[in-house]
Structure 1
Amino acid sequence: MTVLDLREANARDLEARAAAHRARLAPYVEPHLARRAAGEKHPVHDFLFTYYNHRPAQLLRWHPGLDASDPYVVGRRDRIRQVHELLAATAGRAGNFGCFGLHEWAMVHGSDENRHPMPLRLGAAATDRVTEDHRIACSHFDAFRFFTPSAVGFNTLSPGPGDRPAYEQPACLHGGMDLYKHAYRLSPMICSDLVADAFELAWEIRILDMRAAPYDMSGWTLDPTGEPWTPVPIETPEGKAEYVAAQRSFAERGAPIRAALIAACERLLA
């Protein structure tokens, strides 16, 4: 095989991987784009496209990654160090499997308005009592900052915007979803396959996050499967057990993604 043949074969391989990446993520991206064009919103499945600062077109674009000596990498080493510090600190900490997703309940405590266009499953008064009757230990600042003023004092922790490495822990659902954020912040320096892995994990975590939230989502479906929405009633022992089991599964699935991102940071900083 000649050098030209090798180059052509390599180009075909890269094109195939790029096509596979796009096909993998299109079932998530295309319904979102169709809803956006129609002026419709989905409180669960639009989250990864609206909360996170990574456009659908960027997500669909595949990159093989860059070498540590690439000028693009050299100019972003401060960002890489920040991501590495946070991920390494999180990986070295034990997970808290007793939060039960109460951050979403604390976000509506004592409020006349909901964060999402659905009624509360238990009603306002009973929802407030669930918040008040539990020990809340939210370690994730980007969840804690949305607590209502009346709920802030219920949290046993006080995470801030500048001390994430001191609080982040690997069982946190929002910490698991943020693996997607850390991955795309490293793009195109890392292979997009890792970004896709983190995105798909975040997608499933968001579903649990909202199933355990206090909202009545009757009539919603887990598209594209069409399965009916069912709540995880964390106010009951059975609901707590279901939540913890899913939380442990997500923590186990997130661990190798976090480890791969840590390794990628170390490679880029070498």
Structure 2
Amino acid sequence: MAPITAETGAHASRQRVALEDWRACEAEHHAAVDELTAAHLRRSHEGIKHPIIDFLFTYYRSSVGALRTWHPGIGVQLEIEDDRRDIPRFYRRVGTAEDQSTSAIEVDVDAVAESKGKRWQRAATIVSRTASRPPRFGCFGRHEWAMVYRLRPHEIRHEQVPLRVSEGTIAEQVEAGVHCTHFDAFRFFTAPAEPLNEFALSRDSQLEREQPACLHAGMDLYRWASELGPACPSDLLLDTFRSSLRARVVDMQASPYDLSEYGYEPIKIETPQGRAHYAAFQRRWAEETNELRERLLELYASLGVLPE
């Protein structure tokens, strides 16, 4: 079944969806999320860490439950049982002038904005400015290498995962030059690696440096979609999650870690072939994430949130 979507804009009409129709969409969404997250939940229950997948639920402070909860987005009225008394948080009961006999609910945009909207304008500005910049394809994922540059073994973040290259190879790659544009990656650089980056990044410079070929800038779209709460339709949230999951895999494949135990082959960015592979992914990634940025910006506009 195609996802339920609403018209956007100040004068969009409300779409009213029958109970059986939206329940079918909800079930499809649950099945899709369950397929993507079942292994993660099993590992979490058993206390087993995963150096790739866990990132999407720890760094972004999201949960499988939030991802799994289906929302149609704003401007969609969902018919409910007439005797239903419990109304989900951030929803309100509504009726229509034509038919007051059938109960329905819709997202209460004002309630969502009051609770979650403090970061929306900055997020919209980041998304808009990132989309407007030309992509850069020369970083080759060296940010992960800069995070372990000149560290002792017990200081490495993923200490349960061995490195696949020597300290000398790590030094060669980092000292060849790092071209990271993403502050939230840069802030994990070791102190000796920071001055080797092309840019001295800060939280304030985030608005001026983010660019669409950056894997982490694209993964952050999952964060921005999550922060919209029920105002974000679940098909968009799930698309940002799937996209982030693919990028996180490539992000770590291009790292200096040995992930063979987890079934991942390395992208050897210390070789010309590996760098070409990484840059080719970035070209596809920039196009894919700019399409997601466009969808997010349309949603921000429908919420009255305009980039600075």
TM-score by length of 1: 0.90
- Distance apart, 1:26 and its partner CA: 0.8
1:79 to partner: Cα distance? 2.7
CA deviation vs aligned residue, 1:228-252 (integer Å, no higher than 9, x gap): x211111111111000111111111
The answer on 1:268 being equivalent to 2:268 is no
Query: What does residue range 185-200 of structure 1 map to in structure 2 within 5 Å?
Result: 185-200=227-242
Q: How many residues align?
A: 256
Partner of 1:72: 111
Runs of 4+ in 1 over 6 A off after TM superposition: none
Worse overlay, 59-68 or 86-95 = 59-68
Q: CA RMSD of the aligned region, Å? A: 1.8
In 2: Cα distance, 1:195 partner to 1:32 partner: 18
Alignment equivalent of 2:59, drawn from 51, 57, 62: 51
Could you tell me which residue of structure 2 aligns to residue 249 of structure 1? 284
1:211 aligns with 2:253: yes
Whether the aligned pair in 2 keeps the contact of 1:139 and 1:158 (CA below 8 Å) is no
TM-score by length of 2: 0.79
Q: Match of 1:10, as an amino acid?
A: A
Q: In the aligned structure 2, how far is the partner of 1:36 from the partner of 1:244?
A: 33
The CA deviation at 1:74 is 4.5
Q: Name the aligned partner's letter for residue 64 of structure 1.
A: P
Contact 2:117–2:228 (CA<8 Å) still a contact in 1?
no
Are residue 92 (structure 1) and residue 132 (structure 2) matched?
yes
Change (3 A) 1:122 1:95: same
- Which of 181, 201, 204 is the matching residue for 2:223? 181
How big is the shift at 1:78? 4.1
Contact kept in structure 2, 1:89 and 1:165, CA below 8 Å: yes
Which residue, 13, 16, 37 being the options, matches 2:21? 13
SS of structure 2 residue aligned to 1:99? coil
Does the 8 Å contact 1:73/1:268 carry over to 2? no
| 1:163 corresponds to which of 201, 205, 219 | 205
After superposition, residues 19-58 of structure 1 pair within 5 angstroms as 19-58=27-66
Match of 1:132 among 166, 170, 175: 175
Structure 2 counterpart of 1:220, which letter? Y
Q: Which runs of 5+ in 1 are unaligned?
A: 1-5, 222-228
- Equivalent residue for 2:70, pick from 62, 68, 73: 62
What's the offset of the Cα at 1:77?
A: 4.6
Q: Which has the higher helix share?
A: 1
2:144 to 85, 88, 104: 104
Q: Distance in 2 between matches of 1:22 and 1:155?
A: 42
Shift of 1:137: 1.5
Identity over the aligned pairs, expressed in percent? Answer: 40
Contact 2:225 2:240 in 1 (8 A): yes
- Give, in whole Å, the separation in 2 of the partners of 1:44 and 1:208: 10
Give the Cα–Cα distance (whole angstroms) in 1 for the partners of residues 55 and 256 of structure 2. Answer: 17
**What is the match of residue 3 of structure 1?**
none
